[in-house]
Structure 1
Amino acid sequence: MEGVYMNYNQLAKIFKALSDKNRVKIVDLLSAGEKCACDLLDQFEFSQPTLSHHMKVLIEANIVIARKSGKWQHYSLNVDFVDSLDEQIKSLLLEKIAN
């Protein structure tokens, strides 16, 4: 497929990362800008280790970027990657519709 940058395994990893409602909510919260882990924790009723697990999945899928500041991690969307993912999905779906 022309215009497709990611293979099916990469896309499956991304979709799996977004298959959890808590991770979708995290992405939504991060769409407003960088957030400290402490701010994200305030939005959920789960523990810090659970947040760390969700963030690890999102980071491994390249959806989120982390940086450490003091004792807290700060998270933001990997905007360039999310933009390319948007284009990738549109290309994939539109090519299938056109055929």
Structure 2
Amino acid sequence: MKEATIEIEKTATILKLLGDKTRLTMVKMLDSNDCCVCEFVEVFKASQPAISQHLRKLKDAGIVKETRRGQWIIYSLNKDSDHYSLVENILQYLPNQDYRIKELEEQGLRISCE
């Protein structure tokens, strides 16, 4: 079963990243919705640099990927990552976060950067 295993070091890094409540919530949100930085800024009431730092760490670990849409960068889960099955297994135990996206929509702030 070699192909299904990942190194302990890499697993520890991913678990450490997901051990942060904000990053874990972001990843759960990305499980069902692609988002841009401005949406996370609104949801977490955090500064854009702070949100970007979280996303950079997740991207560097291969957990999320980014797609450019015009001048905006949209983040999504990296389902092609070697570690996606680990992340997916963790996410299945977490409550759905779609209500956060719904709140953004109701406030007219969903993809407010477009």
Is the structural similarity TM-score above 0.5? yes
Deviation at 1:68, TM superposition (A): 2.1
| 1:18-29 to 2 correspondences below 5 Å | 18-29=18-29
| 1:29-44 to 2 correspondences below 5 Å | 29-44=29-44
**What residue is the counterpart of 2:86 in the other structure?**
85
Give the structure with the higher percent helix: 1
Where 1:6 maps in the other structure, the secondary structure is: coil
Considering only CA atoms, is the larger Rg found in Structure 1 or Structure 2? Answer: 1
Could you tell me which runs of 5 or more consecutive residues in structure 2 were left unpaired when the two chains were aligned. 91-114
Residues 34 and 45 of structure 1: is their aligned pair in 2 closer, same or farther, counting only changes over 3 Å? same
| 1:29-68 to 2 correspondences below 5 Å | 29-68=29-68
Residues 62 and 47 of structure 1: is their aligned pair in 2 closer, same or farther, counting only changes over 3 Å? same
Residues 88 and 32 of structure 1: is their aligned pair in 2 closer, same or farther, counting only changes over 3 Å? closer
> TM-score under structure 2 normalisation?
0.66
**What residue is the counterpart of 1:10 in the other structure?**
10
Distance 1:87 1:38 in 2: 25
Which segments of structure 1 move beyond 3 Å, counting only runs of 4 or more?
1-5, 86-89
RMSD, matched Cα: 2.4
Distance 2:29 2:89 in 1: 23
Residues 70 and 47 of structure 1: is their aligned pair in 2 closer, same or farther, counting only changes over 3 Å? same
Q: Confirm or deny: 8 A CA contact 1:3 1:88 kept in the other structure.
A: no
Could you tell me which runs of 5 or more consecutive residues in structure 1 were left unpaired when the two chains were aligned. 90-99
CA offsets 1:5-49 (integer angstroms, 9 cap, x no match): 321111111111101000011011111121122222210111000
**What residue is the counterpart of 1:96 in the other structure?**
none
> TM-score under structure 1 normalisation?
0.75
Aligned residues: 89
Deviation at 1:62, TM superposition (A): 1.0
Q: Confirm or deny: 8 A CA contact 1:4 1:88 kept in the other structure.
A: no
